[in-house]
Structure 1
Amino acid sequence: MTKPSFVSRRRREASVVCAIAGLAACSVGPNYVRPPLETPSAYKEAQGWKQAEPRDEQSRGNWWEVFNDPQLDALVTQVAITNQTIKAAEARVREAQALTQQARAAFFPIVTANASATRSSSRAGTGIGTGVGSTAGSSGGVRNNYNVALDINWEIDLWGRVRRTVEASEATAEASAADLESAKLSAQAQLAEDYFLLRAQDAQVRLLNDTVAAYERSLQLTRNQYAVGVVGRADVAQAETQLKSTQAQAIDATVQRAQLEHAIAILIGKPPAEFSLAAETVPTVFPVIPVELPSELLERRPDIAAAERRAAAANAQIGVAESAFFPSLTLSATGGFQSSVLSQLFSLPSRFWSLGPALAQVIFDAGLRRAQTAQAIATYDENVANYRQTVLTGFQEVEDNLAALKILEQEAAVQDEAVKAARESLAIVLNQYRAGTANYLAVVVIQAAALNNERTAISILGRRLTASVALIKALGGGWKEAPAAAADGEPGRRG
């Protein structure tokens, strides 16, 4: 072989390799672009927001500590460790990561080792069972065949099918990780809400028990007055009715408390029989949530991140479906040793090898590939719509809870005044009743009004606490204090 012919052959080989590499660098299907969103420039209930972008990887911190309740802190800390829903979400993350590794494995060739030893026989002249070492016209008999080989198969990713599959798997794994964060946030927020509702129920039970004690004293006073003929039997009956009715309310209030206690037990991964919470006063600390909130709060919502990643995965699946319209190229190689004599198996004459490409193209599939592509496009459109709906739902949840906190704060102030007025009215009527200038019906009416106002005030307190938790959840799980001065020299804002 002359030097020019050798160089020419090397150039041809290099050209073939470059051509294959160039084909392998292309990917069919659309490249992913985050779907555009129609977002408002500002919230109706608050100012200072900009377009939301998922940042679910940011640390949320122990947001529940803003309520300054050690019992709540201890309970919420257990959620991420023992909650079974979170454990299931963690398992789904590991599953998605394993599927991504499976998809990446398709980038590399598959190497298989084979070894076999067979013994066969045939009648003379049939040609059956002959193998290496047999000769034409042999009289038949027993034959041995020993084989050791390596098989290599490698599908060249000409059209990006494997790359798109890996892209889809990676996006799905990221969505699963965001789902895990969403599950943690949801479980933590649900526990905090149940905890505050339970404490509000403790306050209701305490109020009703105190009211029962007061009604028992009123009943005794009425009975004493009836005994000396100051009041009639009707007043005694009214006092007894009022007492029994309030006792029934006190008993009924313990039902919801028990159910809330059971719900908290499940959230921390314990059977209800192994968990109990002693009655405590309802917290009255509300986190200071500024009117102008930094946009990073909504940007960190993990459910938005999960929805966006699923749209990315669905987009990659379009490329996977479209790659089926193009031929597949597989490189195969086999090499090894084969002999009828074991001692000669690894000798030079026993070697064999084969190498070559295989090109395959579907000619007719009755519209199967077209339908699969249409399905992939429809799935992408569905995920884009789900992503946009998740963002809209996030905006709604923030708006709802900002409005709820603002309105409930006003309602609480008015209700406190109503409680004060009811207590003053009750004190006046009781004095009039003791002096004999008012009948017991007037006392019953005022006592009922006072009790209802007290219970309403407690209910509003519980709603304010749960609305605070819901707002923190809607914002992605907390916020940080801004520095005293912004980087550009403008005054810093609390957020």
Structure 2
Amino acid sequence: MWPMTCSNGLLLMGMLSLGGCVQVGPDFAPQRVDWSSQWDTPALRQATESGAQPDARQWWRIFNDPVLESLIAQADANNPGVQVAGLQIMEARAQLGIARSGLFPQSQVVGADALYQHRASRSAEGNPRPSSFWQYSAGFNIGWELDFWGRFSRAIESADAAYFAAEANREDVLVLLHAQVAESYYALRTAEARLRIARDNAAIQKRSYEITERLFKSGETDELDLQQARTQYLGTLSTIPEFESQIARTRNALAVLVGKPPGPMPELPDLASKEAVIPLIDKAVLQDVPANLLLRRPDIRAAELRIAAQSAQVGVAKAELYPSLTLLGSIVWTATSLAGTSGGAALLAGPSLNWNVFDHGRITNTVRLQDARLQQLIVIYQDAVRQAAREADDAATGLIKALERDGILYDSALAAKRSLTLANALYREGYSDFQRVLDAQRALATQQDTYLVNRGNAVSDLIALYKAVGGGWYSGQPVIDPATRDQMQQRTNWGDLLTEAGRPAPASAISKTTRRSDD
């Protein structure tokens, strides 16, 4: 270590001013998908419309269902997936803090020693002469590796992008959660409606079976009519336990989604015995064109931010190819308890240069490894955009076709009901056989059930369309709920990281360009 002189100090100050001016490795460029800016399909144009309300962040309000809105609010507050995503944001905040600390002196050590020494010697006459004393020392050592090649600033870029990717990931969890809650809720309502229809048709078929049984006992009909009536009635009756099981499973799924154990949910009334209404909405209301919404989907933004984070990691790896310059300094004070001695102090400072010249390809292959990972993420991003477009068009097409079928199936169910009335009348008057009654009963049950299934599919496709364009990413709940925050603060000093005040501002153009424009 060199003694600190004026010329050396000026040299080191010059080096310090250059530190961080050079950044090796690729600079992140926002991803572009050539076809995405003008992308549109006839199905999307037909299945969407522009409007301010309902806000796509809370698209489920389009159903105007207080029960659904209550379930989604509970899910926002209690769903473990959302809670874990919030905790991953806190983890990313801490990781970003670690990365930012690299710009400051990496080593700042205060040390102190007290050593007792005992030694024995002999006088000139050969007599033993013991000697004992204490030796004291204290010092402060500092080491500061300059960010000459951008290793630390690239690490900050990476951690910064990873942090905002964690935020986007939580938004994606909310998108999926809201869609799952709504999907499960209307699957429940559809199953309840199908159960009611099955019970109604079973009651109709039971009456026919009882009438046929009386006619058989009186000798007015043969056993074939009796057994056919019994078969049809029991077949319809057997579907009821399956619907009841489906309802129970769907209720349990909803309970878990809102953070409750499976079991009764007073806030979710049973509508199996009532005339349940499955809504039919023909268009999704959007605040922007689908092409722009696709690129703002939380999972797409998270994929782009992961590219940004990995791009910076290539720079971190490349910086290892170059020498590192570290400024070292020490202040040391020493003293002893020996009589006639005095303490002393020393100040030492100077640079240290390290260069891993012979690494047998380790660093070069590390750079290649990081670059291969970067290219993988680019391909994954491009595929994610294509998949998002496919999901949107599939959902729009499904909604359009379900709407087309709705009117047809409604008329078909009415016709089947009228056919059964006519078949019963003709059979009673002796103008037709019992087989036509059985056929009419079977057609009615089938058409009514198919109509309800199609209604449920239309709702499901509308939900899928909102999900495909990234709707529902917003939650009014804090990232960390107060109870969890208090529990974590009791264990560990988190400072203000667990609050909104601890949310870091974007540290680079990377995270700024990939944030939502409506944040």
Shift of 1:274: 5.1
Instruction: Return the alpha-carbon distance in structure 1 between the equivalents of residues 319 and 399 of structure 2.
Output: 53
Alignment of 1:70 with 2:61, yes or no, is no
CA gap 1:230/1:399 in 2 versus in 1, 3 angstroms: same
Shift of 1:160: 0.4
Aligned to 1:427: 421
Q: Is the 8 A contact 1:47 1:292 kept in 2?
A: no
Alignment of 1:169-208 (within 5 A): 169-208=159-198
Residue 173 of structure 1 aligns to a residue whose secondary structure is: helix
CA gap 1:241/1:48 in 2 versus in 1, 3 angstroms: closer
CA gap 1:124/1:385 in 2 versus in 1, 3 angstroms: farther
Alignment of 1:210 with 2:210, yes or no, is no
Aligned to 1:403: 397
CA gap 1:99/1:120 in 2 versus in 1, 3 angstroms: same
Instruction: Return the alpha-carbon distance in structure 2 between the equivalents of residues 12 and 476 of structure 1.
Output: 58
Instruction: Return the alpha-carbon distance in structure 1 between the equivalents of residues 44 and 70 of structure 2.
Output: 34
CA gap 1:374/1:139 in 2 versus in 1, 3 angstroms: farther
Instruction: Return the alpha-carbon distance in structure 1 between the equivalents of residues 401 and 363 of structure 2.
Output: 56
Taking structure 1 as the reference length, the TM-score comes to 0.85
Aligned to 1:259: 249
Shift of 1:185: 1.2
Larger displacement relative to structure 2 (269-278 or 146-155)? 269-278
Aligned to 2:270: 279
Aligned to 1:486: none
Instruction: Return the alpha-carbon distance in structure 1 between the equivalents of residues 426 and 175 of structure 2.
Output: 55
CA gap 1:394/1:141 in 2 versus in 1, 3 angstroms: same
Aligned to 1:246: 236
CA gap 1:288/1:186 in 2 versus in 1, 3 angstroms: same
1:25 to 21, 27, 34: 21
Deviations 1:446-472 (A, max 9, x none): 110111011000000000011111110
| Structure having the higher Rg | 1
Residue 231 of structure 1 aligns to a residue whose secondary structure is: coil
Instruction: Return the alpha-carbon distance in structure 1 between the equivalents of residues 323 and 134 of structure 2.
Output: 41
Deviations 1:350-393 (A, max 9, x none): 22221111100012111100110000100100111111111111
Residue 111 of structure 1 aligns to a residue whose secondary structure is: strand
CA gap 1:478/1:192 in 2 versus in 1, 3 angstroms: same
Residue 390 of structure 2 aligns to a residue whose secondary structure is: helix
Q: Is the 8 A contact 2:294 2:385 kept in 1?
A: no
Larger displacement relative to structure 2 (370-379 or 78-87)? 78-87
Alignment of 1:297 with 2:297, yes or no, is no
Shift of 1:123: 4.5
Larger displacement relative to structure 2 (21-30 or 400-409)? 21-30
Instruction: Return the alpha-carbon distance in structure 2 between the equivalents of residues 232 and 342 of structure 1.
Output: 126
Alignment of 1:81-96 (within 5 A): 81-96=77-92
Instruction: Return the alpha-carbon distance in structure 2 between the equivalents of residues 39 and 201 of structure 1.
Output: 41
2:334 to 322, 338, 352: 338
Q: Is the 8 A contact 1:332 1:355 kept in 2?
A: yes
Q: Is the 8 A contact 1:123 1:141 kept in 2?
A: yes
Aligned to 2:455: 461
Taking structure 2 as the reference length, the TM-score comes to 0.81
Aligned to 1:224: 214
Shift of 1:18: 3.0
Alignment of 1:293-332 (within 5 A): 294-295=289-290, 296-332=292-328
Q: Is the 8 A contact 1:48 1:294 kept in 2?
A: no
Shift of 1:344: 11
Shift of 1:444: 0.7
Gaps of 5+ in 2: 47-54, 123-127, 474-519
Residue 272 of structure 1 aligns to a residue whose secondary structure is: coil
Deviations 1:44-69 (A, max 9, x none): 234679xxxxxxxxx85322111111
Shift of 1:241: 1.4
1:164 to 147, 154, 163: 154
Alignment of 1:116 with 2:103, yes or no, is no
Q: Is the 8 A contact 2:56 2:466 kept in 1?
A: no
Aligned to 1:134: none
Aligned to 1:472: 466
Larger displacement relative to structure 2 (406-415 or 319-328)? 406-415
AA partner of residue 279 (structure 1): D
Instruction: Return the alpha-carbon distance in structure 1 between the equivalents of residues 20 and 231 of structure 2.
Output: 87
Aligned to 2:479: none
CA gap 1:367/1:418 in 2 versus in 1, 3 angstroms: same
Q: Is the 8 A contact 2:118 2:133 kept in 1?
A: yes
Aligned to 2:376: 382
Deviations 1:224-269 (A, max 9, x none): 3234332222212221111111110111111211111111111111
Percent of counterpart pairs with the same letter?
Answer: 28
Shift of 1:184: 1.2
CA gap 1:233/1:325 in 2 versus in 1, 3 angstroms: same
Residue 108 of structure 2 aligns to a residue whose secondary structure is: strand
CA gap 1:336/1:13 in 2 versus in 1, 3 angstroms: closer
CA gap 1:400/1:174 in 2 versus in 1, 3 angstroms: same
CA gap 1:92/1:421 in 2 versus in 1, 3 angstroms: same
Instruction: Return the alpha-carbon distance in structure 2 between the equivalents of residues 355 and 321 of structure 1.
Output: 29
Deviations 1:37-93 (A, max 9, x none): 1325232234679xxxxxxxxx85322111111111110111111111111111111
Instruction: Return the alpha-carbon distance in structure 2 between the equivalents of residues 373 and 292 of structure 1.
Output: 43
Residue 320 of structure 2 aligns to a residue whose secondary structure is: helix
Instruction: Return the alpha-carbon distance in structure 1 between the equivalents of residues 41 and 24 of structure 2.
Output: 44
Shift of 1:10: 6.6
Aligned to 1:372: 366
